[in-house]
Amino acid sequence: MNIGMNAPQIYQYPLNLFYGDPSEDMSGEPNKFTPIEINKVVERERSKIELVAGNFVHSGFNLWTP
């Protein structure tokens, strides 16, 4: 595969989950979730995420989009 002008571009978006409104979280840090818990949220909200980000692949704590 030659990398050049026609190479596909893939973007990575990190996932940060909060229990409620992040502005109410006094520590400023996202709560710690396991990859299994994040997977459940992503699968439940897949259609909403696709409206915002388009087609995506979920892996661990990241979303990957073309």
29 pLDDT exceeds 70? no
18 pLDDT exceeds 70? yes
pLDDT at res. 33: 83
**Sign of the torsion angle spanned by Cα atoms 22, 27, 12, 44:** negative
Q: Band of the pLDDT at 66, cuts 50, 70, 90?
A: confident
User: Residue 30 contacts by C-beta under 8 Å, 6 or more apart in sequence?
Assistant: 16, 17, 18, 22
Q: In the chain, what are the domain boundaries?
A: 11-19+33-65
Q: Are 51 and 65 in contact (CB under 8 A)?
A: no
Give start and end residues of each alpha helix (H) in the chain. 35-44, 46-53
| pTM score | 0.67
- pLDDT tens string 33-64: 888 889 999 999 999 999 999 999 999 899 99
Between residues 22 and 37, the one the model is more confident about:
37
Give start and end residues of each alpha helix (H) in 1-45. 35-44
